[in-house]
């Protein structure tokens, strides 16, 4: 079936530390993956994406890693800041499809 | 550059009523997707519109229908509202040939 899951529903880190949010996906035919950040009362905000022909992509303070062998996706946030507190969703797109399939999300809390 | 906009921001309806939600895509985008997000869950794909036609549909009943206008804006209509339709309705826009979907702030629908 369709499912994009997350290993941890909540994650708490100290300000300034690095955060790693993990995601497992089930469809080996997925060819595109994306991470969103959603703050309370707002819509999901695009963070970074990666295609299946890549295994790593870097943005500003964020890195996405894709391991197709074990169908695992991770989002690394460097030097976390209070503004990084939010729910983070990974999503996948099946090859040939238009829709994004989302997981439940991980709530990231930054401790001062 | 305006992002994705949605109206209204909040809406309260009673069971059996009908509702219309509106979305204007990001400038330069021609594809609109609608998602339903229940509290504490990830967004669920409803359908996608491109060239004024429904291109793909998720597992939602026929009570959910949509429309796309020549200016690429879109409407989501829900008939015979049920209590379970209470959710955040998200619109996402994208450009043909690009997978990245950008979300609006959503419309919070409460069905009493």
C-alpha B46/C-alpha B64 separation (Å) is: 8
Count of structural domains within chain A: 1
Provide the pLDDT for residue A1.
38
Provide the pLDDT for residue B1.
62
- B104: Cβ contacts below 8 Å, ≥ 6 apart: A43, B3, B4, B5, B6, B23, B90, B91, B92, B93
Q: Which of A58, A73, A63 is nearest to A27 (CA)?
A: A73
Provide the pLDDT for residue B82.
98
Provide the pLDDT for residue A81.
96
Q: Is the pLDDT of residue A96 over 70?
A: yes
Q: Predicted confidence band at A19 (pLDDT cuts at 50, 70, 90)? A: very high
Contact A42 B105 (CB under 8 A): yes
Q: Residue A38: beta bridge partners?
A: A87
Mean pLDDT, chain B, rounded, equals: 96
Residues of A in contact with B31 (CB under 8 A): 98
Mean pLDDT, chain A, rounded, equals: 91
Q: Predicted confidence band at A2 (pLDDT cuts at 50, 70, 90)? A: very low
Nearest to B101 among A100, A103, A104 (CB): A100
Look up the domain containing A102 and give its range: 4-111
Q: Is the pLDDT of residue A6 over 50?
A: no
Q: Is the pLDDT of residue B9 over 80?
A: yes
Q: Is A25 an interface residue toward B (CB < 8 Å)?
A: no
The strand order across the sheet containing B74-78 reads B5-7, B19-24, B74-78, B64-68
Q: Is the pLDDT of residue A5 over 80?
A: no
To the nearest whole Å, the CA of A54 is away from the closest chain B CA by 15
Count CB neighbours of B96 within 10 A. Answer: 9
How buried is A108 (Cβ within 10 angstroms: 0-12 exposed, 13-18 middle, 19+ buried)?
A: buried
Q: Is the pLDDT of residue B28 over 90?
A: yes
**Top-level class of domain B5-107:** mainly beta
3-state secondary structure of A84: helix
- At A12, which CATH number? 2.60.40.10
DSSP letters, B43-96, are -EEEEEEETTEEEEE-S--TTEEEEE-TTS-EEEEE-S--GGG-EEEEEEEE-T
Q: Is the pLDDT of residue A9 over 90?
A: no
- A13: Cβ contacts below 8 Å, ≥ 6 apart: A19, A80, A108, A109, A110, A111
pLDDT digits (tens, 9 = 90+) for B56-97: 999 999 999 999 999 999 999 999 999 999 999 999 999 998
């Amino acid at each position: 079936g369709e499912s994009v899951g997350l290993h941890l529903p909540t994650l708490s880190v100290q300000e300034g530390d690095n955060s790693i949010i993990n995601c497992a996906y089930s469809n080996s035919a997925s060819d595109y993956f994306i991470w969103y950040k959603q703050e309370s009362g707002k819509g999901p905000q695009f963070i970074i994406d990666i295609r299946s022909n890549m295994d790593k992509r870097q943005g500003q303070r964020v890195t996405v890693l894709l391991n197709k062998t074990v169908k695992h996706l991770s989002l690394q946030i460097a030097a976390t800041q209070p503004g990084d507190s939010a729910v983070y969703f990974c999503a996948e797109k099946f090859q040939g499809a238009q829709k994004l399939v989302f997981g439940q999300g991980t709530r990231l809390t930054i401790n001062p | 550059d305006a992002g994705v906009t949605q109206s209204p921001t909040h809406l309260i309806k009673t069971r059996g009523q009908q509702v219309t939600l509106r979305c204007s895509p990001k400038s330069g985008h021609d594809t609109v997707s609608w998602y339903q997000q229940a509290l504490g869950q990830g967004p669920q794909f409803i359908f996608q519109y491109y060239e004024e036609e429904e291109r793909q549909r998720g597992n939602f009943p026929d009570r959910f229908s949509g429309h796309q206008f020549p200016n690429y804006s879109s409407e989501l209509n829900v008939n015979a509202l049920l209590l379970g339709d209470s959710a955040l309705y998200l619109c996402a826009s994208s450009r043909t040939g690009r997978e990245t979907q950008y979300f609006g702030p959503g419309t919070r629908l409460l069905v009493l």
